[in-house]
Structure 1
Amino acid sequence: MNTFKTEIVKTKEQSKTLAIIVVVLFIIANLYIFLIEKENQNVYLKSISFVIYFLGLFFLFGQSFIKPKPIGFFEIADTSINLRLDESQDTLLFIELDNIILKYTGYGSWWTHSIYGNKNYLLIACKNGENYNLEILLRNRSMKNDFKAFLNTEALQEKFQLKKTKNTTCEF
């Protein structure tokens, strides 16, 4: 029996106000460090500017090194989908599914958003009215191809829809 298994995760969302504050401070620190003449710089302001500069670099580029928090497992087999979230476990048979929508952003690599896997959202709607909105990780190309093979099976092909986000760099 073939199966595909991945983690269901919850990625920490950054506050928009914090992001704006960090970007403004980062720009001010860059201006102070690189554009003001060295003779006119205050030692304390220069030190604070370097701290803000490196914090800004982490905020801008270091987010991809923070691992998303796993909250469960997603497993798809030949006839069903198994979801394990916290303490509960649900098994969804393919005949019970109304549709499956994948918002695809790519898989994890050094060149994309995260080395752990990109945010790929999976919306599963059942015929009984239950909906599951999941964020899953696709870690590499082979994992993406395995998942694609399961979604292109006869049982799921008519129920599956793919939506790409604007910043998708890879084909699904």
Structure 2
Amino acid sequence: MNTEFRTEIVKTKKYRKVFSIFIVLLYVLATVYLFLIDKERVNIYLKYAAFLAYLIGAFYLFGQSFIKPKTIGIFKISNGVIHIQKDGLTKNITLNQLEKIYLKYTDYGSWSTHSIFGNKNYIEITETSGEKYNFEILIRNRTSKNDLERILNGVEFQEKFALRQLKNSRTEFIKT
């Protein structure tokens, strides 16, 4: 029985709203030009430019799941101790220092979800001293999800663990 959960602390790239709207607009215009405009009066240079805009839009809309988020640290839970390595610093939080641990669960990574590396799962750790740590973590697959679920529902963490599961999650994270 595995009593350790280890994953990466990551930072997902966020795009500006103006950039997103611009790319989607280019994608729609390129789609209309390539597939709905009469083929006899098409400018060849404009057609290639529209095709390039179409490919960029398709990558932006559908290819984001293949880009791995930037790793900024390591998060590990083992034997009732939480180990955090971030920005070259190491922090160990024991059970008596832990006030609560809160997980905002979206889903684990797979081919049918937003990201093959793991969806946006956030964990917030609060110490008894009042210091808070907020991280985006990767839950890579079902095994990782089950390991984290078993550890957080274990005797050590059960009374200090809280969970919020988003509605669009395909799998349920069970809190006992």
Query: Aligning the two structures, in what range does the TM-score lie when normalised by the shorter sequence?
Result: over 0.9
- After superposing on structure 2, the runs of 4+ consecutive aligned residues of structure 1 that deviate more than 2 Å are none
Distance 1:166 1:29 in 2: 33
Distance 1:69 1:25 in 2: 27
Partner of 2:153: 152
Distance 1:148 1:41 in 2: 57
Is the Cα–Cα contact under 8 Å of residues 101 and 161 in structure 2 kept in the other structure? yes
Cα displacement string for residues 56-85 of structure 1 (whole angstroms, at most 9, x for unaligned residues): 000000001101111111110122101010
Residue 54 of structure 1 and its aligned partner are, at CA, apart by 0.5
Partner of 2:111: 110
Residue 10 of structure 1 and its aligned partner are, at CA, apart by 1.0
Residue 169 of structure 1 and its aligned partner are, at CA, apart by 1.7
Partner of 2:165: 164
Q: How does 1:118-137 map to 2 (within 5 A)?
A: 118-137=119-138
Q: How does 1:2-17 map to 2 (within 5 A)?
A: 2-17=3-18
Letter matched to residue 25 of structure 1:
L
1:100 maps to 2:115: no
Letter matched to residue 56 of structure 2:
L
Cα displacement string for residues 67-122 of structure 1 (whole angstroms, at most 9, x for unaligned residues): 11111111101221010102100000112111111111100110011111111100
Letter matched to residue 17 of structure 1:
V
Letter matched to residue 12 of structure 1:
K
Cα displacement string for residues 131-153 of structure 1 (whole angstroms, at most 9, x for unaligned residues): 00011111100110001110001
Distance 2:96 2:64 in 1: 40
Stretches of structure 1 that go unaligned for 5 or more consecutive residues are: none
Is the Cα–Cα contact under 8 Å of residues 80 and 157 in structure 2 kept in the other structure? no
Q: How does 1:1-150 map to 2 (within 5 A)?
A: 2-150=3-151
Structural RMSD (CA): 1.1
Distance 1:145 1:60 in 2: 30
Percent of aligned positions that are identical: 51
TM-score by length of 2: 0.94
TM-score by length of 1: 0.96
Distance 1:166 1:94 in 2: 30
Distance 2:165 2:77 in 1: 21
